[in-house]
Amino acid sequence: MVQFDTLAILIALGSLGFIYYRKSKKGPYSHLPLPPGPPRKPIVGNLFNMPSRPEWEDYHKISKDFDTDIIYLNVVGTNIVVLDTHDAAMELLERRSSKYSSRAHLPMVNELMGWDFAVGFKEYGQQWRDCRRLMHHSFHPGAVVLFRPHMQRATRNLLKRFLDYPDNIMGNIRHMSGEGILSITYGLDVQADNDPYIKVAEQSLAGFAEAAVPGAFLVDSFSLLKYVPEWFPGAGFQTKARIWRDAAFEMRDYTFTGAKKNVLAGTSPHCFVSANLNEMDPAKPDPVKEQLVKDTAGSMYSAGTDTTLSAVGSCILAFLEYPETLKKAQAELDRVIKPGHLPDFNDYDSLPYITALTMETLRWRDVGPIGLPHVLIEEDEYKGYRIPAGTIVIANSWAMLHNEETYKDPFTFNPDRFLTKDGKLDKTARDPAHACWGFGRRVCPGRYLAFSGVWITLASLAAVFDITKAIDEKGNVIEPSHEYVNSAIIVPKPFQASVKPRSEAFAQIIRDSVAAA
C-alpha cells in the first residue's frame, strides 16, 4: 500500500486534493473513453486501493480481470497507465517513443533527495541526450570488451570471498558488484572489507530503491508537501529525504573526486571517467562537460550495483531449488574449461548452457519488474482508448516475462527453454531482453555490460563451487524463504546456503587466480 509516515499531513492539508485533482485538457481524443481499470473515488481516485507490493502481480491480475493489455488508474489527479503485454509496450514505448520517452517528475526523488542528476530520472531533452551519448560511447557491444578485465577480476575476488566467508552470500555478492562497477566507472580499487566507497553506495541506494517506486510517498501525489518543514508532525519523509540526499551526493562526488585525482596523476586505468576526462583539454577547463561526466558516472554506479546483486542472488536461489541446473552447468564447464583454469570470456561461444542460465535468471526473477515509469508528453490513443497527456506509463515487464503463451511453465526455472535439443542456443526462443532491459529510447544503456557481468559471475561460481541448501545444527535442511526487498530493483533478502569448493584443487585454483591478478 501507499507508504504513510502519518495521516497528520493528509488531514492538515487535505484540501490540497481539490487543487491537485485536475481533468485533462481537451484534445483530439477527448471523446474516447479512458482504458479500463478499478473504480475511482472522487478527488482521490485510486489512492486508497493502489496495488500492494509486489504491485506487478496485482497490476497483472487487474489486467486479467478486465481482459485487457492496458489498465488505467488515477491517484489524486495523476493518470497512471500500466501495459501488461509486450505488444502493448512495443506499440507505445517503441514505435511511438517520441511521445513516451520522458520521465515522471517525482518530488521525493528528484527534488528532496537530489537524484535529478541521474540519467534515469532526467526528462527527455538535451541533457538526457548528452548523458546517453556518453554512455553509449563507452558501453556499446564493441566498447564493453574493454571492461572485461574489470569484471573478471571482481568475479575472481568474489570466489575468494566465498572461500573466506562462505556464509555471507548476499554480502559477498554486494561487495563484488560494487567492486566491479567502481572499477569500470571510476578505475578505483576497493578494500577487502569495510570499503568506504561501497559503504556510501549502499546507504544511498537503500533510499533510492525505496523512493523510486511510484506512489511510495504522498509527496509525489501532493507535490506541495515538499514545502512542509521537517519538524512538522508526520513529516518523517523530509528526514528520510535529507539523509538520503546527503548519501546520494557523497556517492556521486566522493567517488568522482578520487577518480579525477588519479586521472590527473596519470595513474588511472582505463575506465569511464578517465576515458572522458582525458578527452578534455587540460588548458581549457570545461566545468559543464566535467559535471556531465560526474552525473553520468554517478548514474552508472547507482544503476549497476543492485542489478548485478539481484541477478546473481536470484540464480543462487534457483540452484537451491533446481539443483539439476547447477549440475548441468558444471558438466558443460568441465567439458570446456581446461583443468587448472577458470572460465573467461574467450569461452563464451563454447558455453551455451551458461548463456541460457544467464537468460533464464534474468527472466525468472527479473531485476526490475516494472522498471522506471515513462511519461506521455501529448495525448494519445490506443485501441480506442484515450491516454491523457502527462500520464505515467508503466511497462509490466514481470507479466511479459511470465507470460504462459511465451514461456511454458513460467514460474519454473528452466534454462533448457533457451536451448535446442542438441544443446545449442535456440534462436526461436524469445530472449528475455525483449522486456528485462526496458523499452524504446529509455532502454538500459548498460545492458551489454550487465549481461556480461552476470554471465562471467555465474560461470565462475558454477565452475568451482557446489551450492546446496544449508543444514542446521540438528541436521535439518534450511529452506530459503525466497523473500525479496520489493522496490524499483528487487533484491533477495539475506538467506542461508552451503557454498563449498568442489574440491581442494578448485580452492587452490581460486587462490592462484587472485594471487596472479
Residues that constitute the known binding site for heme: 444
H, E, C per residue of 362-383 = HHHCCCCCCCCCEECCCCEEEC
Q: Which residues are annotated as a binding site?
A: 444
| DSSP single-letter state for residue 234 | T
Contacts of 422 by beta carbon, 8 Å cutoff, 6+ apart: none
Contacts for 341 with CB less than 8 Å, ≥ 6 apart: 509
Could you identify the residue written with the cell 578448485? 506
Helical ranges in 266-286 per DSSP H: 272-277
DSSP H helices in 187-224: 196-211
Bridge-based pairing of strands 374-375 and 102-103 is antiparallel
Q: For the range 325-328, what are the long-range contacts, defined as Cβ-Cβ under 8 Å and sequence gap of 24 or more? A: 325/357, 325/413, 325/414, 325/415, 326/462, 326/466, 326/467, 328/353, 328/415
> What are the cell numbers at 445?
544503456
List, in order, residues 6 or more apart from 405 with CB less than 8 Å away. none
Q: By three-state DSSP, how is residue 385 classified?
A: strand
CA atoms of 217 and 248, how far apart (whole Å): 18
List the grid coordinates of 31: 471523446
DSSP of 398-432, one letter per residue?
HHHHT-TTTSSSTTS--GGGGB-TTSSB-TTSPPT
- CA 303, chain centre distance (Å): 6
Q: Bridge partners of 380? A: 387
Helix, strand or coil, per DSSP, at residue 332: helix
Sign of CA dihedral 283, 285, 286, 289: positive
Q: Cell numbers for 97, please give them.
A: 517513443
Q: Which residues of 293-319 are buried (b: 16+ CB within 10 A; e: fewer)?
A: bbbbbbbbbbbbbbbbbbbbbbbbbbb
Task: Evaluate whether 14 touches 222 at the Cβ level (below 8 Å).
Answer: no
Q: Which residue has cell 521537517?
A: 230
Grid cell, residue 339, equals 583443468
And the C-alpha cell for 278?
582525458
Which of 396, 395, 398, 393 lies closest to 374, judged by CA? 393
Q: Exposure pattern of 414-446 as b/e (b: 16+ CB <10 Å)?
A: bbbbbbeeeeeebeebbebebbbbbbbbbebbb
What's CA 119's distance to the chain center, in Å? 13
